[in-house]
A = this chain, B = another copy of it.
């Protein structure tokens, strides 16, 4: 009887292992875990219509089933994904960018960032590439700052955030249609600018607040 119980137990552990492996393999997001009792919140896809298939934006209009069984529509953007990095010098300064953002009709202050080159591009390789292209910098030390969903109500974009230190200067290598100014600001000043509402870009606010929290006792 013990033997059977042990076998059943082993089988159970084995199956759990497979399920766990599959879940980990399927896990799109590193942050947060969904719960077993989420069925009272989940929306199911009924149909999906491609509205626009652009270079950056891929727009869909889906019919879904609400948790109460009623139909509803959802408009959404499919986005390839992106990375961003807050590069901090040994003096405690951040290498920042000023860039014109056409949708908001103004130049804004941002940390280096960019889209993935392909959907399966390694995000760490992508962020090293973006940092080098936009600022000429390479870095000895990288720290994962987590993920950022800019607008989960209507976009599946996921931005991976990094902190880079141990910086080395090199040559900038911008895309043909990329125009930006690179400049250096003390992290402490940027932290104060975020707290007083002077920096409006989302990923930049988070990266500054997190980096300041991590580095404040060393700069």
Chain A residues engaging chain B, CB cutoff 8 angstroms: 28-32, 34-35, 38, 40-43, 51-52, 54-57, 59, 61-62, 64, 66-68, 70, 72-77, 79, 98-109, 144-158, 176-177, 179-181, 194-203, 205-206, 209-210, 213
Contact = CB atoms under 8 A, between A and B. Distances in A.
Contact of A203 (B79, B104, B109, B202): B202
A105 B64 CA distance: 12
A59 B66 contact: no
Contacts of A154: 56-57, 77, 79, 103
Given A73-B55, A75-B57, A147-B197, A29 B104 contact: yes
7 contacts: A40-B179, A41-B100, A55-B75, A67-B179, A74-B103, A76-B102, A77-B103
A104 B152 contact: yes
Dominant secondary structure at the A interface:
mixed
Contacts of A210: 194-195, 209
A146 to B, nearest CB: 3
Contact of A202 (B74, B196, B202): B202
B100 A205 contact: no
Given A61-B54, A75-B56, A179-B67, A42 B213 contact: no
